[in-house]
Amino acid sequence: MFDLIVKGGTLPDGLVADIGIRGDKIAAVEGLAGAEAGQVIDATGDLVCPPFVDPHFHMDATLSYGQPRVNASGTLLEGIALWGELKAIATIDEMKARALEYCDWAVSMGLLAIRSHVDTCDPDLKGVQALLDVRETVKEYIDLQLVAFPQDGLYRDPNALEQTLRALDMGVDVVGGIPHFERTMDEGSWSITNLCKIAADRGLPVDMHCDETDDPMSRHIETLAYETQRLGLNGRVAASHLTSMHSMDNYYVSKLLPLIAEAGINAIPNPLINIVLQGRHDTFPKRRGLTRVKEMQAHGITVGWGQDCVLDPWYSLGTADMLDVAFMGLHVAQMTHPDEMRRCFDMVTNANARIMGLQGYGLEPGCTASLVVLDAGNAIEALRLRPDRLAVVSRGKVVARQTRNDSRLSLPGRPETVRRRHRAG
C-alpha cells in the first residue's frame, strides 16, 4: 500500500516505471501493477524527473522590474546602480511579497530547490531579514539556501564585511563575494582570501560571483582555486558566471581548467542573463558572454545552469522555468549533440543538486519523494517544448497540477486538435 503512485512515466534515462511513494520518501521504482495507493497520477507517456534546481538566483530583487526605473544601458554596472536605488526604498514586506510570489511561480514550474544570493550591503539587512522569513515560510516545499552577498564589494563598501558576518550570524547558509567589482585586482584577491577564510572557520560553503566581466585579465578564479586548495574547501566552493573565461587567452585557460578541477570547484554559468549583459562594449563581432561550458565539463568540472534573475534590474524577462535557462545555455554553448542536450537537462536537475549539496535528491528508492511530471516524452523533447508541468510533487505531497491543454484547430481536412506546443507522437 502506497500513499501515492506515479504510474507509467518515462524517467530521464529512458526507463519506464511506476514510482511508489510512502510518506515523504520514494519506496519503489518498478512495475507496480495491482498495487494500491491513496492517490494515483497517470503519467503514461510523460516524462517524470526529479525537481528542477536553480543554484544561482537573487530573490531579494526579483519581480521588481521597472522600480524605480528600467536599466537603460542593459549593463551589469547600471543594474548594480539601479538595485542600489531600489534597495534604499524597498521595505522588508515588499521584498517578502515579491519573493513569495516568485516561489509560487517556481513550484508551478517544478523548481523546488533554489540558492539565492541576498545583498548584505544594506545597513538594515532588509533583504536578509525578508529572505530568512521566506526560507522559513517555504521550507515544507522548497529547499531555499541563502548566500551572504556583499553586492557593493567587501572592501568597496566600508560596512560590507561587518554586515556580511552579521548576516551569517543570523543564519545565512553560504559565503558569497564579488571580487571583480572591488576597486583593484589586489582588493579582489584579498576579498577572496578573506571570505574563504570566513567560510573555512565557520564550516560553510562558498559561492562567489567570479569574473562576471568581458575583461580577459579578470582572473580571480585562479585565486579562488588557490584558496580553495589552501584551506581544504575542496568540493564546497562554487564559482558563478566566470564570463571572462570566454575572452581569455587559450593557453592560459589550458593551465586554468586543471586548477579548477583539482580544487573541486563547481561552475555556475547563467546564460539567460549573461547573453544580454555581456558584450555591451563590443562593436562587432560581439562576444557571447558565456563561460567555457563543454571545455570545463571535459576536465571533469561539475557545471550547472543558473537562472540568476527574473524581472529585476539586470534582466527584464524570465518565468522561473529552468528549461528556459537550459534552452538558452544549449544554444549559446552550442550543445546540440543528443548527448550534450541530455547533459543540459541533467545540469538543471542532478548537477545543480550536487552543487547545492542536496541530500536525498533523485528518483531512486529511499530518495525524497519530490518529482515533476512533464508533458513531454523525454528530456530532449522537454528542452524543445519547455512544456506544461502536469504534476509537481514535493516530499510526497502534490503541490501543483496543470491540465493538459491541446489546441483545437478549424482547418479543412486537418485534425481537430493539435498537441499543445507540438509534442511529437
Handedness of CA 277, 282, 284, 289 (dihedral sign): negative
Q: Which of residues 235-264 bind Fe ion (CB under 5 A)?
A: none
Question: Which neighbouring-strand residues pair with 206?
Answer: 175, 237
How far apart are alpha carbons 298 and 339 in whole angstroms? 13
Distances from the Cα of 350 to the Cα of 8, 113, 141, 345, angstroms:
22, 11, 18, 9
Least Cβ distance, residue 149 to Fe ion (angstroms) = 8
CB of 241 to Fe ion, least distance (A): 7
2 versus 57: smaller Cβ distance to Fe ion = 57
Catalytic site includes residue 212: yes
Q: What are the helix (H) ranges across 12-75?
A: none
Other beta carbons within 10 angstroms of residue 261's beta carbon come to 16
> Which one, 135 or 384, has the nearer CB to Fe ion?
135
Asked if 143 is part of the footprint of Fe ion (rule: CB under 5 A), the reply reads no
Q: Which residues contact 169 (CB under 8 A, 6 or more apart)?
A: none
Shortest separation between residue 240's beta carbon and Fe ion, angstroms: 6
Binding-residue total with Fe ion (CB under 5 A): 1
* DSSP-derived secondary structure for 23-36: TTEEEEEE--TT--
Task: Tell me which residue of 30, 21, 109, 41 sits closest to 318, measured CA to CA.
Answer: 109
CA 275 → CA 246, 291, 298, distances in Å?
12, 10, 22
C-alpha atoms less than 13 angstroms from C-alpha of 266 in its C-beta half-sphere: 25
Closest to Fe ion by CB, 119 vs 227, is 119
Instruction: Supply the DSSP symbol for 386.
Output: -
Alpha-carbon gap, residue 167 to 127, rounded angstroms: 10
Complex with Fe ion: residue 157 or 308, whichever CB lies closer: 308
Give residue for cell 530532449: 380
Q: Phi and psi (nearest 5°) for 113?
A: -145, 130
Question: Any idea of the CA torsion for 276, 281, 285, 290, to the nearest 10 degrees?
Answer: -40
State the minimum distance, in angstroms, from the CB of residue 253 to Fe ion: 22
Which residue has the CB atom at the shortest distance from Fe ion? 308
Catalytic option among 101, 187, 212, 262 = 212
| Cβ-Cβ contacts under 8 Å for 339 (sequence gap 6 or more) | none
Q: Produce one character per residue of 65-96: b if its CB has 16 or more CB atoms within 10 Å, e if not.
A: bebeeebeeebbebbbebbeebbeebebebbb
Q: Which of residues 295-314 bind Fe ion (CB under 5 A)?
A: 308
Shortest approach of Fe ion to residue 58 CB, angstroms? 6
* Nearest distance, CB of residue 117 and Fe ion, angstroms: 6
Q: Which residue has the cell 558584450?
A: 279
Catalytic (active-site) positions: 212
Name the site residues for Fe ion (rule: CB under 5 A): 308
